[in-house]
Chain A
Amino acid sequence: MSSERRAGTDADAVLGAIPRWVYSPKTTEEAREVIEATAAETLSLGFIGGGTDVQLGAPMRQLDALLQTGGLSRVVEYAPADMIVTVEAGTTLAKLSETLQQHRQRLPLDPPALDRATVGGAIAANSFGPRRARFGSVRDLLIGISIVRADGTRARGGGKVVKNVAGFDIPKLMCGSLGTLGLIVTATFRLHPLPEMEKTVLVRSRTAAQVRGLVARLKAGQLEPTSIVALSAAAARFDVAVRFEGFGAGVTQQAARFAELQQREGEPCEQLDDVDAQAWWKKHDDARTKGAIRAKIAALPNALETFLPKLEAVREHLVDSILVWYASLGLGFICGASSDLAAASRALADARSALEKANGSLTLQAAPQAIREWIGAWGTPPPAFSVMHRLKERFDPQQRLNPGRFVGGL
């Protein structure tokens, strides 16, 4: 086998487990060989891209080997006229963006830390950022995928045309599967044009009810922002950024219309200049990556008010906490540090239980070992867990790919 291999060190630890071996394949074929060889020895195997979501999930039951995808960073095919690109999984989103910019195109997938986040990691972790409000999540952008299965077999699903219903949707199966079904080696995405103009409008210090009203107003006004993000650094108050993108005339009109609607409500707003806008979105990215505790919350978009007391109760036990709320999606993150882990755990468990009762969820994106042990990373397994369990069995019969890291111990 030709892939580089070295002994694992503390720096390679994934959720506390130090792999015995670390592989750094340079080609997809080398990656395939690693998987085949480790299958022969029934070694447990984890995958890592840029490590931006390395803390996501439950600790693995065992981690014999770790495969780093960083060496798989080629752009395999870029067809600007067809607005599709195929890249290897270790390509960072920043590098991909550079390539696409040359043809005024983009992949509107914008999780924080684009310079480290890889394509494969973003798919596996279902990473997303503010633009999900308009362009959907990675599942809505991914049109084809090539994987290496647990036994070292390569398989492909989807294709390189945007519209395609031939066969089962293997690309969707891989979205959010966290390296438990196979290694993603290449991915094909549909692309979007880079907008001619971008404007961010900021509304300061709103209550949860006002955030809800603001979203309703945008909809009633038939405005089509690409991002609506509420950030709360102080208890129960949110700064809301609304971003419009597109051709100049449309963006200008939409931003003006939004300002007018806000004015009429007696809720002033300010249009940020480019420098301030960039600074605000950077603040958002920093909020998403900071703190030893990061919990993702999912609820219906209008339920922020309902759950806010529970979320605030979590924040009471966090230092420098920030609540990020994607107001039209019903998704958010609470991030911060904690000195009283037991109290934070209890508050998180309490918030989770309230969210789950409303068919929502609270999952740990990052947390100290103690919290993970007390409350688990994932919460109650979803209603269709039996099917997920069978999927894992079919795709990874030796239970060796990231064993135990996923929902319900999969």
Chain B
Amino acid sequence: MRSEFVPVAHAVLTELASVVGPKNCISDPAGLRTYECDGLTSFRMVPGAVILPATTEEVVEAVRIARRANLPIVPRGSGTGLSGGALPVPGCVVIGLSRMRSILEIDLENAWMRVQPGVANLDISKRLASAGYYYAPDPSSQSVCSIGGNVAENSGGAHCLKYGFTVNHVLGARVVLGDGSVVDLGGPVLDTPGYDLIGVFVGSEGTLGIVTEVVVRILRKPEATRTFFATFPSTDEAGQTVSDIIAAGIVPAAVEMMDRLAIVAIKAATGLDWPDVGAALLMDVDGPVAEVEHTAAQASAIAARRGALEIRRPTDEAERLLMWKGRKSAFAAVGRISHNYIVQDGVIPRSEIANVLREIARLTTEAGLRVANVFHAGDGNLHPLILYDANVPGEEQRAEHLGGEILKLCVRSGGSITGEHGVGADKAPYMAEMFSEADLQAMAELRCAFDAENRFNPSKVFPTPRLCGDRPGKYVPSPLELSGEAGRG
């Protein structure tokens, strides 16, 4: 997908450059092309300008300039997103936060930390490691993806089964709104009176404002972690094992499933000595020693009972990390066995795993393609990797169509069109599969309360453009407004 390049007027560029400095205001064609897509490379659009501010004040100035020139703004973190959330729109100013990467404040005793949005997810945990603390959400791209991007996407990761997602670990944020005002949402102290604005901001995919500081919750490292890697003849036994483990009252920190094709790809990419089997599970339990000894033994017994071919336990932390590296490299690894592939992200109720995998296999055969499945089995978050060869005429279209069919299957099964990658540009057309017009309208109201001019990331998330316009229904001003204590706007 490629549209015409729309340049930003020279006068506006000069203004932007005066705020961030000429070298942080990119307008040359080669420089701009670096920002034409995010991790979803099939969607591309060269932005009108890219600026890389260093402070909240610079972001504010840039937003004001863009507003005066009536230009759309697309916020961007590390550009690792997989739904086109940071995909430029024609003639936009991309505000990249990669230079804002300072850790501002650490309060171990009260278990929070204040960081700039460009800080890489993993760098938070690295900084805390010596003190025995960490930041829980761990998307596979955690060594490069930024915390600001995580806030936008409400990123998950393997360990969110037990620990939750970004939204459960972000306590507050400083945000620049479309009119250039700066607001603090939430903060280190819980239960700020009023609506849970930080709760709605996280996961808003860059459509409500630009985050310039993030307050994250940090956790004490668990006393012990036990990991096992179990192989199975097929995904049926592996899926049943997961269901039985959960039914036994065990809450694993993570349970990941890989099918045959995914295992083949991971082996090809990493050289891990995993066997050729129909499916594998990688599971972590963590917590106090006696608790995890018990749950790990229980879970192993369940796997054995359900027909596990082999159960491996890492002998040391290095081996454990290697197993996880295998899993986390799965997306990229698929590149070893296919020219091109689409990373899909959908969710189904856990109890539907076996049925849905069979249906995906059927749809895949019908489409004449191959799909590798890697997923967070504990919470039913599927990542079908659809393999295709762009050089074969029609194959890319078939792959995209299959991706859409899989999403519809997820929704039919009671699930969601995205578990962690976001809607972005990619899945906006599928929102109507999940939500009614009235549901989308309620979301649009929320959007309008933050960004009435549709300044940030227009054309994302919603299937059809929505204007804020006049407020719905008969408007009655509040007494505060009449008394001048609060204004409209």
- Which A residues contact B (CB, under 8 angstroms)? 39, 42, 61, 79-84, 104, 126, 136-137, 139-140, 147, 149-151, 153-157, 159-170, 172-173, 175-177, 181, 192-196, 216, 219, 222-224, 246-254, 257, 296, 298-302, 329-331, 358-361, 363, 378-379, 381-395, 397-400, 403-404, 406-410
CB-nearest residue of chain A to B191: A298
A-B contact count (CB 8 A): 310
Contact B475 A388 (CB under 8 A): no
Q: Can you show 11 pairs from A to B with CB atoms below 8 A apart?
A: A126-B196, A161-B414, A172-B167, A192-B251, A219-B220, A222-B223, A247-B291, A386-B183, A398-B474, A408-B480, A408-B485
B175-209, CB < 8 A from A: 177, 181, 183-185, 187-197, 199-200, 202-204
Closest residue to B204 on the A side, CB-wise? A168
Most buried by A among B154, B290, B294: B290
Is B196 a contact of A331 with CB atoms below 8 Å? no
Is B350 within 8 A of A81, CB to CB?
A: yes
CA A177 – CA B195 in complex, angstroms? 6
Residue from the list B197, B439, B479 in contact with A387, Cβ < 8 A: B197
**What is the CA–CA distance of A42 and B193 in the complex, to the nearest angstrom?**
27
> Nearest residue in A to B470 (C-beta to C-beta)?
A397
Chain A, Cβ-Cβ closest to B462: A167
Instruction: Flag if B442 contacts A302 (CB, 8 Å).
Output: no
Q: 8 Å CB contacts to A: which residues of B401-432?
A: 414-423, 427, 431
User: Could you mark each residue 284-325 of chain B with 1 if its beta carbon is under 8 Å from any beta carbon of chain A, else 0?
Assistant: 000111111111000000000000000000000000000000
Question: Cβ of B391 < 8 Å from any Cβ of A?
Answer: no
Please tell me if the beta carbons of A223 and B486 are within 8 angstroms of each other in the complex: no
B247 at the binding interface (Cβ < 8 Å):
yes
Within 8 A of A (CB), among B339-390: 347-351, 376, 379-381
Report the Cα distance A377→B190, complex, angstroms: 18
Please give me the 9 A-B residue pairs with the lowest Cβ-Cβ distance, nearest first.
A250-B291, A172-B199, A193-B249, A253-B290, A222-B223, A155-B442, A394-B445, A390-B449, A164-B416
Given known pairs A222-B221, A383-B183, the reply for A359 and B188 (CB within 8 Å) is: yes
B160 CB–A CB distance under 8 Å? yes
Contact in complex: B249, A104 (CB < 8 Å): yes
Contact present for A361 and B193 (CB under 8 Å)? yes
- Interface status of B436 (Cβ within 8 A of chain A): yes
Chain B residues positioned under 8 Å from A104 (CB to CB): 249
Asked if residues B199 and A175 are in contact (CB atoms below 8 Å), the reply is yes
Q: Does A168 lie within 8 Å of B347, measured CB to CB?
A: no
B 233-259 binary contact with A (CB < 8 Å = 1; else 0): 000000000010011011100000000
Q: How far is the CA of A194 from the CA of B250 in the complex (A)?
A: 10
Specify the chain A residue showing the minimal Cβ separation from B249: A193
Q: Does B271 contact A (CB under 8 A)?
A: no
Q: Complex: how many Å from CA A20 to CA B288?
A: 56
Name the B residues within 8 Å of A42 (CB-CB): 474, 476
Asked whether, in the complex, the Cβ of B449 is within 8 Å of the Cβ of A387, the reply is yes
Please give the residue numbers on chain B whose beta carbons come within 8 Å of chain A beta carbons, in ascending order.
107, 109-111, 153-154, 156, 160, 164-165, 167-168, 177, 181, 183-185, 187-197, 199-200, 202-204, 220-223, 243, 246-247, 249-251, 287-295, 347-351, 376, 379-381, 414-423, 427, 431, 434-436, 438-443, 445-450, 452, 461, 471-481, 485-489
Chain B: CB-nearest residue to A182:
B442
Contacts of B351 on A, CB cut-off 8 Å? 79, 81-82
User: For residue A222, which residues in chain B have a CB less than 8 angstroms away from its CB?
Assistant: 220-223, 288
Are A382 and B247 in contact, CB atoms less than 8 angstroms apart? no
Which of A136, A163, A330, A392 counts the most B-chain CB atoms under 10 A from its CB?
Answer: A163
Question: In whole angstroms, how far apart are the Cα atoms of A83 and B488 in the complex?
Answer: 43
Evaluate contact between B436 and A156: CB separation under 8 angstroms.
yes
When the two chains form their complex, are residues A397 and B474 in contact, meaning their CB atoms are under 8 A apart? yes
Closest Cβ–Cβ distance, residue B59 to chain A (whole Å): 17
A161 contacts across to B, CB distance below 8 A: 347-349, 379-380, 414-416, 419
Contact present for A79 and B349 (CB under 8 Å): yes
Closest to B108 in A: A219
Residue from A81, A181, A393 in contact with B471 in the complex, judged by beta carbons closer than 8 Å: A393
Known: A254-B288, A389-B478, A393-B471. A170 touches B443 (CB 8 A): yes
Within the complex, which residue of A82, A196, A223 is in contact with B350, where a contact is CB–CB below 8 Å? A82
Report yes or no: A408 in contact with B194, Cβ–Cβ below 8 A: yes
Contact partner of B476 (CB less than 8 A), chosen from A247, A359, A398, is A398
| CB–CB B423/A384 < 8 A | no
Q: Which of A166, A379, A404, A406 has the most CB of B within 10 A?
A: A166
**Out of B191, B247, B347, B427, which one reaches A126, CB within 8 Å?**
B191
Residue in B416, B422, B480 whose beta carbon sits within 8 Å of that of A163 in the complex: B416
What distance in Å separates the Cβ of B204 from its nearest Cβ neighbour in chain A? Answer: 6
| Cα–Cα distance between A328 and B252 once the two chains are bound (Å) | 24
New A-B pairs, 13, CB < 8 Å, besides A149-B442, A175-B196, A254-B288: A81-B350, A163-B156, A163-B379, A164-B416, A165-B203, A166-B431, A302-B110, A330-B190, A361-B193, A384-B185, A386-B486, A391-B195, A399-B478
A169-B202, A384-B184, A398-B476 known; A163 vs B192 contact (CB < 8 Å): no
Could you tell me the distance between the alpha carbons of A399 and B476 in the complex, rounded to whole angstroms? Answer: 6
Whether the pair B160, A194 counts as a contact (CB closer than 8 A) is no
CB distance from A234 to the nearest CB of B (A): 26
Min CB gap B346→A, angstroms: 10
> Is the Cβ of A390 less than 8 Å from the Cβ of B489?
yes
What chain A residues lie within 8 Å of B487 (beta carbons)?
386
Beta-carbon contact of B189 and A359 below 8 Å:
yes
Min C-beta distance of B9 to chain A, whole Å: 31
Which B residues touch A195, using CB under 8 A? Answer: 249
Known: A82-B351, A253-B291, A397-B474. A382 touches B419 (CB 8 A): no
List residues of chain B with CB within 8 A of the CB of A257.
Answer: 288
